[in-house]
Amino acid sequence: MENKTVLIIEDNELNMKLVRSMLQLGRYQVLEAGDAETGIQLARGHLPDLILMDIQLPGMDGLQATQIIRNESILANIPVVALTSYAMQGDEQKAASAGCTGYIAKPIDTRNFLDILAGFLS
C-alpha cells in the first residue's frame, strides 16, 4: 500500500513535533504548516489524504480554514480532523458544523492516535 500523506496545520512547535513523530512511526508522509493560510495552500498543491487542523491558529482559525477547504471542490472530500487543547463544551459540535470529519482533544493520547487516524483514512 502506498504511503498516505497527512497535512498537519499546527502553530505550536512541540505539538507539531509530537504529531510528526507519531505519523512518521506510522509511515505516513508528512506536510506541515504553522498557520491556516499556508496549510490551505499546501492542501491545494499536494492534495493530502488527511488534514490535522489545530483550531486555535494565528490569523485565520482552524474552523474558518475548514470551511474554506469544504467549499473548494478539489479539497472538499479530504477528511479534516480538528486538534484542540481548548476542549470546551460545544467545541466538538462547532468543529462538526464547520465541516470537520472528526475531533481529537489535546493532549493527544499517543497509545491510540495512529489507530484513530487510520479510521479516518479507510
pTM: 0.94
State which amino acid sits at residue 16. M
| The CA-based dihedral angle spanning residues 69, 100, 95, 7, taken in that order and rounded to the nearest 10 degrees | -70
CA distance 20 to 28: 9
pLDDT score of 87:
59
Query: What pLDDT shows up at residue 91?
Result: 80
Residue 84 has a pLDDT of 81
Tell me, what's the pLDDT at 92? 84
Q: Chain-centre distance of CA 8, in angstroms?
A: 5
Distances, alpha carbon 16 to alpha carbons 7, 50, 93, in Å: 11, 15, 24
Mind listing the pLDDT tens digit for each residue in 68-78? 999 999 999 99
Contact 34, 54 (CB under 8 A): no
Domains of the chain: 5-121 (3.40.50.2300)
Mean pLDDT by 10 residues, the chain (122 residues): 89 96 96 98 98 95 97 97 76 90 91 94 86
**Distance between CA atoms of 24 and 104, rounded to whole angstroms?**
18
